[in-house]
Structure 1
């Protein structure tokens, strides 16, 4: 289902969220606690699109699977649940990329974008779809799209094929807080890695990475230098595969610059953000087309913990 959806037929117990949200001017939107939809991107087949049932609002147009959030349910969980209920999308075949939120004050719609980690075929599982198809990215605009999805598509298209990268100057971020880190540099680095793993797994504020979105799941590269390299990489079985720990053989700044240069060398390069308050390093990476944020900005996110 999509923004402003007509209520679907129900065949079982209803969640309290399966109800209309009513705005101050009487506008009604489906989903008492908001709604969410899932845009699945497969690198070889394009995006998964839903040909919407004729009885629905703007029936016969194309959009993405989705529907009302349940009470207390996170938006991304709702998007995954609805896509499974409507299209048989397996959650274990996906990894999140970012979410965007349309906030009307009294109601929200969250578009969750995810990449496939393995191939699967969708299957119509309820009355909400006429068809489900993988559509090449360049062919989406040629479909008769649901008007709200058509409005969102140009911006989504520009973001769905590139995962952002966050490179962390560990020494600078650790040194941003005078908590006695100098007495145990490996221990301080290990604590930073643990904080990053927890927060990155839940998603980072997209604005931190310069993205016009709500939450993002970037690739994270943490550069350790000197004594801190003894912290070593985290247990990959327990950690997020999106966090890579680099033990610099020499200068951490030089290693960071080399990483930025390699990432920015490719056509269609992913957006790169470096977390450091070192002015010299920030200037060097800016010359290579990367943006930077201060160590304090990242520290604030880590201290606040994961987003709800």
Structure 2
């Protein structure tokens, strides 16, 4: 199988290291809600029984607020019955030519970031305005692509497991669970099974995307053939040891001088040695002090020598309340 590999590599790749706290938040949002949302919709029993029309009808998502209705489906797919592991998905058929439009899987990073962040904050058909009000996004990937958002891995977002053994411990586990979810998804929505399929994601999904693509590519007894055509990764964390080498890049674009580049190079080599020794937290602290500034209290070395912050430079972005609004919306409007 020929696979088109599309990797979007930006200097913002450093953002892939950013802690879950800053991007997605972890505060306790309470149990407030706008009404009883009913019981979770487990679709696997219906899929296995061949009751596909019933499953599609039950998974149809109703209108959100006062905005125009956007056809979509959501529910849980059980990926491990013994452990009670279930993955939540939300699927939006393409607005234009859904019969032939490619299906794009979106996976958020983190690790531990819900893919609903990508849906509501980046490229889905909706965004959440002040007051937790859903609005239609003018420019959305869902116009020309059928978008499939899955909370991954199990334990992220609305995806859950009833036993600790259900949590992924490596990328093989991640790929296995996603493959099972996709097999069920394309059994249910078999009209899309022959369409081109792309796995995409950002940040820590730089690990998830290759994992699911590899699982699809090497599956020998797949119930449904998935028409994998390529993968896309933005600002991805793929291989930390390789990606630590910022010194020459920063020097060549004129942000640091030769002495500063030498310091960054030396620190990076030390961090890579920590990775080789299995001292991952120590390696992260070095990177955090050099560039990221997520945990260290002092100003990063990068900002000290350049006066720059490597992300969120534009005032409209710096002042945005998108994350907080989205957190409240997901807690109050979609949870019981």
TM-score, with length taken from structure 1: 0.26
TM-score, with length taken from structure 2: 0.24
Answer 1 or 2: which has greater strand percent: 1
Of structures 1 and 2, the one with the larger relative CO (CA 8 A, separation 6+) is 2
Answer 1 or 2: which has greater helix percent: 2
